[in-house]
Structure 1
Amino acid sequence: MLFENPRASRSVYPADLQEVMSVSSAHQSRDWLSSWEHLSQNSTPLWSLPGVAKEAGVAQFWVKDESVRSPLASFKALGAPIALIRLILRLMPHESFDPRGLITGRYQNDLRDFTVISATDGNHGRALAAAAQSVGCKCVIVLHANVSTERETAIAEYGAQIIRIDGNYDESVEHTAKLAEQNGWPVVSDTSYEGYEVVPRDVMQGYGTISAELIEQTTVDIQVACPFTHVFLQGGVGGMAAGISSYLWEVYQEQRPTFIMVEPKQADCLYQSAVQGRPAKATGSVDSVMAGLACGETSPLAWRFLEPSVDFFLTISDEDAIGAMRLLARGSATDIPIVAGESGVAGLAALKILVRDSEAAKKVGIGSDSRVLIISTEGATAPAVYESLVGESAEAVGARQRNWQLKQL
């Protein structure tokens, strides 16, 4: 289903939002993480896929490939560690820790008795566990029933204590809050709730690195028009979308691109928020193959940014996502094969839906002059799941990607 947001604005980036998240703070976060061993020192690739563009009837189609951001294989590597650093600096101002020294383990002896906790669908918890290991503190991760054992193992590899509960993601968030209160552990969550906004803000701020790289990769002069006419963003609780859209809005102001939010049909909390005009809950089961987007409640903080910036909200099926995964993995003579996980392909799945419906495409403004961007937020974070859905392993797709690149030389 497609919903046009009547509250979307083309005004300048509001001052009250800039006080919460800004380009300057995003740049600071990027600088602090520049020495972390679990982050690539290079920008992630921005692939141009002319074959997909031609099939969709648009001028250009780009994929920002976050699968190689980190050995963690997800964009979440930008959010959790910066939130952990900022949390420690706030809680221990008397220690005068250097932010870069924190993430490189300089103060491990000082932090060995410090514990943080979070609920996760997988990627955020893995990034937090890795950051905690680097910093030298302890980490407790709460997983709900639908998180695969494969993702659990990936988190545990970084030394986190795992706690399993029955129920869904939102119930794991509630359980996390109880444990935090009982034990005096700070929560490092990527979703906000009443009385808890500072840490989720820091998580969202970390995602500004993606936007900064996009601008560097497409134009030398940020004063020129935005290189993208349409940007498709994944849902979840809304943090990643808020981090990226706020950055691009602040840079391009009234000339910002059209933002299109994409969610699983059964985890449509942001879609429902747009319809109701307030942070809302999903109407479905929330159980989706797009594990990173299987969230039942909108982050109120993220909604402050999404309500005035996202122009359209669209829901997709699991089958749509699987088809998009296979399309990117397959590649072609003109298009490089890409390893994109279940949640990473939501934007492509949405584009395919829109171009099959001429009225919907017209409403969104998708046409022959459109320059479309999607963010592939993850690679094969659960390799066995990826192989079962795509029909070949991530390693096989990666090998074909390398062969494709060699042929271009």
Structure 2
Amino acid sequence: MLIANSRAQRRSYPDSLARILNVAGGNESRAWLSNWEAINAQPTPIFGLPGVAAQLGVASVSVKDESLRSPLGSFKALGAPIALMRLVLRLWPDHALDPKALIQGRYREMLTHLTVISATDGNHGKALAAAAQSMGCACVIVLHANVSVEREQAIAAYGARIVRIAGNYDESVEHAAQLAHANGWHVVSDTSYEGYEAIPRDVMQGYGTIAAEIIEQTRVGTFTHVFLQGGVGGLAAGVASYLWEIHGETRPCFIVVEPRQADCLYQSAIAGHAAKATGSVDSVMAGLACGETSPLAWTILEACVDHFMLIEDDDAVAAMRTLAAGENGDVPIVSGESGAAGLAALVKLMGRAELAHAAGLDQHSRVLLISTEGATAPGVYASLVGVEADTVAARRDEHLAQLAQ
């Protein structure tokens, strides 16, 4: 359930990793994204949860709420558009394209015959479809058997052509690559594999926006622990690398969280190299239901993640309900199945003294969680939480309005 990573380092951010992900690239990505109408102009808020902190016995718990990033409803709005922009710039190197004009669709005629494709569990595909629609190129999204019809419809609403397969996520990744090869399309995936690293790197660089905002919104040393969702490793690598480069040897403790049945990063920590999951992969945490670690992301994570942890689906659902309830004076938060994983892990660790001790968690710990998504499948959210997402959002807004008075 919890494994320490003996290879984690506490020193200045290595030059070898800075050649993959770096603060400068993250800041450039953030500047480009500021020109996209699908991204909200203001940073996503960091909400304090003193009620949860008191209940768990830590000094503080804070949640960065990515549900408010964009109408797309998740942090994925930061990765796919940057990867698509950088792909277009590489394809037309002699045209001196302006990134601002590109994301605003002013090269639409030039991109008419460009088609991009990706496999997805939902959020990445929706973000890519939205970015392609804004820029003016065609988009094909491959969905596996466990992606809900609700998520399929949300992607199709942005003009993407949907291809369904009977297999799992990793098989959908393979199918997307086959279609791209056969049709001359370009894969824009958030996971790397042999010979395919530039675009996943660009996706991760976009996620650095989250870390850049955290730095601006808080003071140095605010957090002792940062919980990060697993998946293929892209979000964790994008955020952890940025914070590590800024804080150096005083960086926070990073804990990566995965579903028990989709434990590819946990298994990578055991093996010492990018590995595959040992379980069924299917999970209510759809965004984290990934069977194979991204080797490029693992290069970063192996060097800085202090602990890898597994949780159950029921843990995530309980955390969703806790965040939605906003008990003991806390602000209600709309957090989806994957978004609540960090809180689920924290609750589990603090429920067992030996695990909390192993992770260095105690009454002095200041914890940051990232709620990576809102109700990206509203029907699923309501069925799990027992209340509509709009109702929780209204309670959140009422709570914040009262605090502002």
**Shorter-chain TM-score tier:** over 0.9
State the Cα distance separating 1:188 from its structure 2 match.
0.2
1:281 aligns with 2:279: no
Please tell me whether residue 369 in structure 1 is matched to residue 360 in structure 2: no
Aligned partner of 1:123 in structure 2 is 123
What is the RMSD computed on CA atoms of the aligned residues? 0.7
Of 223, 236, 239, which residue of structure 1 is paired with 2:231?
Answer: 236
Report the equivalent of 1:401. Answer: 396
In the alignment, the residues of structure 2 paired with residue 274 and residue 346 of structure 1 have an alpha-carbon distance, to the nearest angstrom, of: 19
Q: Return the letter of the residue paired with 2:373.
A: E
| Partner SS for 1:95 | coil
CA distance in 2, matches of 1:216, 1:97: 30
Which residue does 1:149 correspond to in 2?
Answer: 149
SS of the residue corresponding to residue 124 of structure 1 reads helix
Q: Is 1:292 matched up with 2:272?
A: no
Write the deviation string for residues 257-311 of structure 1: whole angstroms up to 9, x where unpaired. Answer: 0000100000000000001101100000000000000000000000000001000
Paired residue for 2:353, among 332, 355, 358?
Answer: 358
Rounded Cα–Cα distance in structure 2 between residues aligned with 1:278 and 1:226? 31
Q: What code does the residue aligned with 2:248 have?
A: Q
What's 2:23 paired with?
23
The amino acid across from 1:272 in the alignment is Q
Distance (Å, rounded) in 1 between the aligned partners of 2:304 and 2:51: 30
User: Aligned-pair distance for 1:227?
Assistant: 1.4
How much does 1:333 deviate? Answer: 4.3
Equivalent residues in 2 for 1:32-111 (5 A)?
32-111=32-111
**1:262 & 1:131 partners in 2: Cα distance?**
28
Post-superposition CA distance 1:169-206 (Å, at most 9, x none): 00000001100100111100000000000000000000
In structure 1, the gaps of 5 or more residues are: 220-224
How far apart, CA to CA, are the structure 1 residues paired with 2:394 and 2:177?
43
**Partner amino acid, structure 2, of 1:313:** F
Provide the rounded CA distance (Å) in 1 between the counterparts of 2:72 and 2:212: 21
Matched, 1:265 2:260: yes
Question: Letter of the aligned partner of 2:89 in structure 1?
Answer: L
Deviation of 1:96 after TM superposition, in Å, equals 1.7
Equivalent positions of 1:218-237 (< 5 A) are 218-219=218-219, 225-237=220-232
Measured in 1, the distance between the counterparts of 2:80 and 2:183 equals: 21
Kindly tell me: are residues 321 and 123 of structure 1, through their superposed partners in 2, closer, same or farther at Cα, counting changes over 3 Å?
same
Q: Amino acid of the residue matched to residue 332 of structure 2?
A: P
Residues 311-326 of structure 1: pairs in structure 2 closer than 5 A = 311-326=306-321
User: Deviation at 1:334?
Assistant: 1.8
CA distance in 2, matches of 1:199, 1:312: 27
Task: Please report how far the alpha carbon of residue 137 of structure 1 lies from its aligned counterpart in structure 2 after TM superposition.
Answer: 0.3
- Alpha-carbon distance in structure 1 between the residues aligned to 2:131 and 2:44: 20
Q: Match of 1:212?
A: 212
Please state whether the residue corresponding to 2:26 is helix, strand or coil: helix
Give the aligned partner of residue 138 of structure 1.
138
CA–CA separation in structure 2 for the residues paired with 1:226 and 1:14: 21
How far did 1:406 drift? 2.6
- Report the TM-score, using the length of structure 2 for normalisation: 0.99
State the partner residue of 2:165: 165
TM-score, normalised by the number of residues in structure 1: 0.98
The one-letter code sitting in structure 2 at the alignment partner of 1:248 is L
State the alpha-carbon separation in 2 of the partners of residues 299 and 384 from structure 1.
Answer: 30
Moved over 6 A (4+): none
3-state SS in 1 of match to 2:134:
helix
State, as a whole percentage, how many aligned pairs show the same letter. Answer: 66
Structure 1 segment 195-210 matched on structure 2, within 5 A: 195-210=195-210
Cα separation, 1, equivalents of 2:11 and 2:368: 22
Alpha-carbon shift at residue 402 of structure 1 (Å) = 1.6
- Give, in whole Å, the separation in 2 of the partners of 1:333 and 1:20: 43
Q: Does 1:340 align with 2:328?
A: no
Name the CA distance, whole Å, in 1 between partners of 2:105 and 2:328.
45
Aligned to 1:9: 9
Report the alpha carbon displacement of residue 332 of structure 1 after superposing the two structures with TM.
Answer: 2.2
Using the TM superposition, give the Cα deviation of residue 166 of structure 1 relative to its aligned residue in structure 2, in angstroms: 0.6
Match for residue 222 of structure 1?
Answer: none
CA distance in 2, matches of 1:32, 1:406: 32
| C-alpha distance in structure 2 between counterparts of 1:135 and 1:334, whole Å | 43
Deviates more, 1:254-263 or 1:92-101: 92-101
Residue matched to 2:303: 308
- Give CA-to-partner distance per residue, 1:34-89, whole Å, 9 cap, x none: 11010000000100000011011111100000001000000000000000000000
- The CA deviation string for residues 194-245 of structure 1, in whole angstroms up to 9 with x for no partner, is 00000000000000000010111112xxxxx421100000000000000000
Distance across 2 between alignment mates of 1:317 and 1:139 = 34
Cα distance between partner residues in 2 of 1:400 and 1:117: 38
What are the superposed Cα offsets for residues 340-374 of structure 1, whole Å, 9 maximum, x if unpaired? 00000111000000011101101111011100001
Distance 1:282 1:263 in 2: 10
Partner residue, 1:251: 246
| Cα distance in 2 for residues equivalent to 1:333 and 1:359 | 27
| Separation of aligned partners in 2, 1:25 and 1:313 | 27
Equivalenced residue count is 404
Instruction: State the distance in 2 between where 1:320 and 1:190 align.
Output: 26
